[in-house]
């Protein structure tokens, strides 16, 4: 598992820095794709991950994009991070 920070995170809300740091810590502790999927799902249920970020899984990676808080339907072009498994 390799976590790659690919671009900056914009702090449009006071909740973003703490949530992002907790999420990155969670990602670095996962050891398999299954554990990653389970951890992301549980984190999203407990926090407002969907409010601030768009995320998903490719065939060999997890990706995270930041949403604009002014219009959550809009997503920043560059990925914030990816996790390769």
Task: Give how many domains the chain has, as a whole number.
Answer: 1
Cα–Cα distances (Å) from 48 to 37, 40, 73, in that order, read 17, 12, 15
Helix (H) or strand (E) holding 83: strand 81-84
Distance CA 6, CA 24 (A): 13
Strand 53-57 to 61-66 pairing:
antiparallel
pLDDT in tens, 18-65: 999 999 999 999 999 999 999 999 999 999 999 999 999 999 999 999
Q: What angle do CA 16, 18, 21 make, to 5 degrees?
A: 100
Q: Which residue range(s) make up the domain with 61?
A: 2-84
Structure tokens at 59: 């065939």
| pTM for this model (two decimals) | 0.93
């Amino acid at each position: 598992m390799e976590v790659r920070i690919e671009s900056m995170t914009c702090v449009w809300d006071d909740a973003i820095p703490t949530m992002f740091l907790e999420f990155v810590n969670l990602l670095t502790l996962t050891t398999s794709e299954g554990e990653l999927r389970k951890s992301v799902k549980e984190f999203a249920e407990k926090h407002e991950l969907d409010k601030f970020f768009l995320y998903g899984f490719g065939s060999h990676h997890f990706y995270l994009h930041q949403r604009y808080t002014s219009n959550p339907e809009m997503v920043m072009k560059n990925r914030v991070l990816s996790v390769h498994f």
